[in-house]
Structure 1
């Protein structure tokens, strides 16, 4: 009797073991492959949950000590990045200085130090995702700047900024003025000089706001028409300026941008028409910060390039600096700020991603005391000029001073 029970027990164990082995083989063969991480998404949902270790999230922080702009003692009002030596790169001896000849430039040492720091990603216990250098460019003078100077701030903010133009200058998706183009070409000459004399780090990735003045800034600053970069520059929706009633912050259609800037690519899901601009509400600062965080997470989780040139706008630059904990630093029209950013994993029990936490927020009241075309029935109606611009895209002289 005992022998019979023992045989039944062994058969049961054998059956269970065989079933477990079969289940394991089937689960291995039929397991779902993780979805591919697209390198062309910067404004969509960051793949944080797919890549993060268990209960961890991505932390982005400024690494100070490399550029003068990050030091508290640097006077931002008197600082000019293009007059400073090496764009503000601090002259110093890094931890590996003795490995190099005395003839190495400060940029040579900086690039090798950054490469050494990026080796930290190979040590799992450090949780480092990587280090990147961001060159944040603000476009030079555009036609909306001349309009504000001509009409005055109150009249501009409450009336003219909401118009497509004034009959002599176009404000909608404002282009660079001839003076702005000259400044961008001057900046190009400075970059060429830094590349040749001190070996400044050449950007590996070029990203642009979809506003035309930002794309023009990248094109002229790096002479992309004559010397195309290794990979095409990319239009990124979330790099655009704070959107609202200002027509100069509304973007053109994908068709228009593709025809005017044939060297540029578009991030995935870039819509044909502007999905964000409104004629009666302004975006809040919290919403701009939210966009900046999503952009930075995607940049670190989807791209491997260490040196990135970004043409964006005043409020977005402020938001990026705030998102990484960099000191506030004003970037004048036509200037640039370089920052070193570290991405790393940290323990977090937050179940929502940055994309899920906040939605776009708007504010309505500008406290205008003069004619307001949004609420005043006597104001002139706004006109859709997108088709007009497409028809006159190839006209050589499209700009006239306000």
Structure 2
């Protein structure tokens, strides 16, 4: 009896060993494929956990020493990126020039491009834990109609009353367009870029990203002559989280998907771009903390989903400020119609944080604008207050491109 049981046990162990061996062999030959990572998501959950090594998170930091704007001694109040030599690129000799096809008299931009590409090539070494490097050209739109409204009415009257209006009978403030002067300034940016192109092989953007506010899209179109270039450039993409801080100001509320698609046919849209604006509210403002969170989400998606290195981004004052803060860049004021170039490094670091950036994120709003009589929140005719849990800021079912309705 004992001998029989021993034989059965050995047979069971044998079959178990064969099963385990076959399981690992099949797993090695036919690995489970993870779902494809979309290239057209910048405002959704970053695929950090899917791509990161165990207990690692993505760290984003400004690589200092390339541009004058990085340096503490550069006076931001007197600095003009379009008057500076090479948009502020610091003259220096990179070691990479000796291992490239560049000659000794190569321009600073030629050397800079080779140096950035070299750093990206070396980042493939696993021991460095570097995800890659990107060069962002952050553009702030030139003068728009809401700027003229603020100048005309004064700061207090504008912030507390007129900024809530769609217009004043002369100018439209809602999703404000560039003024004729603003269009002229955006075209001037294009002339400056072409001037540099004639002198040097400036690192031309491979990817164009824009806030879905009309003035940002116009800036990108005019600054890079996107509608007339030959061969045509890659289609620019509308990114929800690149828009200016939302709430109260009608010039920061965006148009519908249908309207934008018709007006800007050259543009693509990131996935889950809703038909109507899911973020703007008429009675409260977004906090700076909230803007910082969505800037981090945008940057993580940019590093984890896209391979382009040189990227033009048309966005707004507070978003530029948040992006600079997210990467540890020194605070740097970017006037209307100006640009700041930033070199950003993405790398993995050990983290025990159980939540990703997007999981920590929620829309934060504040009520206080230091307004008195003109404050719509204290006005009896203002819209009723909503609790936070009554506000739905997610992409609800059926809110995507398919539900097109009449545009604003």
- Do Structure 1 and Structure 2 share a fold, with TM-score over 0.5? yes
Name stretches of at least 5 consecutive residues in structure 2 with no aligned partner. Answer: 384-404
Once residues 88 and 264 of structure 2 are traced to their aligned partners in structure 1, the CA distance between those partners, rounded to angstroms, is 31
From 289, 295, 300, the counterpart of 1:297 = 300
Q: Which residue of 1 aligns with 2:157?
A: 155
Name the residue aligned to 2:338: 335
Question: In the alignment, is residue 356 of structure 1 matched against residue 359 of structure 2?
Answer: yes
Q: In the alignment, what sits opposite 2:212? A: 210
Aligned position for 1:398? none
Counterpart-to-counterpart distance in 1, 2:373 and 2:184: 35
Q: Which shifted more, 193-202 or 50-59?
A: 193-202
Q: How big is the shift at 1:102?
A: 2.0
What SS does the corresponding residue of 2:80 show, helix, strand or coil? coil
Question: Per-residue deviation at 1:367?
Answer: 1.3
**Map of 2:85 onto structure 1:** 85
For residue 127 of structure 1, report the CA deviation from its aligned partner.
0.5
The Cα shift of 1:182 comes to 0.2
Q: Which residue of 2 aligns with 1:383?
A: none
- For 1:2 and 1:243, the matched residues in 2 are separated by 78
Q: Which moved more, 1:147-156 or 1:19-28?
A: 19-28
Stretches of structure 1 lacking an aligned partner (at least 5 in a row): 381-386, 391-402
Distance 1:220 1:9 in 2: 78
1:124 is matched with 126
Alignment of 1:14-25 (within 5 A): 14-25=14-25
Number of equivalenced pairs: 384
CA contact (8 A) 1:155 1:370 kept: no
Paired with 1:168 and 1:355, the residues of 2 have a C-alpha distance of: 41
Summarize the Cα distance change of 1:195–1:81 in structure 2 as closer, same or farther, 3 Å threshold: same
The answer to whether the 8 A contact 1:141-1:180 is kept is: yes
Give the alignment of 1:370-381 within 5 angstroms: 370-377=373-380
Task: Indicate the SS of the match to 1:295.
Answer: helix
Is contact 1:143–1:175 with CA below 8 Å preserved after alignment? yes
> Given the alignment, which residue of 263, 282, 285 partners 2:266?
263
Asked whether the equivalents of residues 279 and 374 of structure 1 are also in contact (C-alpha less than 8 Å), the reply is no
Task: Give 1:249's match in structure 2, choosing from 244, 248, 252.
Answer: 252
SS of 2:75's partner is coil
CA contact (8 A) 2:212 2:242 kept: yes
Partners of 1:63 and 1:27 lie apart in 2 by 41
* CA positional deviation for 1:122: 1.9
In the alignment, what sits opposite 1:146? 148
Q: Is the 8 A contact 1:41 1:267 kept in 2?
A: yes
User: C-alpha distance in 2, partners of 1:198/1:15?
Assistant: 70
Q: Considering only aligned residues, what root-mean-square deviation do their CA atoms show, in Å?
A: 2.1
Q: How does 1:310-321 map to 2 (within 5 A)?
A: 310-321=313-324
Shift of 1:344: 0.3
Give the match for residue 71 of structure 2. Answer: 71
Task: State whether residues 131 and 341 of structure 1, in contact with CA within 8 Å, keep that contact through their aligned partners in structure 2.
Answer: yes
Asked whether the 8 Å contact 2:190–2:223 carries over to 1, the reply is yes
Please tell me whether the aligned partners of residues 287 and 361 of structure 1 are also in contact (alpha carbons under 8 angstroms). Answer: yes
In the alignment, the residues of structure 1 paired with residue 406 and residue 113 of structure 2 have an alpha-carbon distance, to the nearest angstrom, of 47
Counterpart selection for 1:322 from 302, 305, 325: 325
Q: TM-score, normalised by structure 1?
A: 0.91
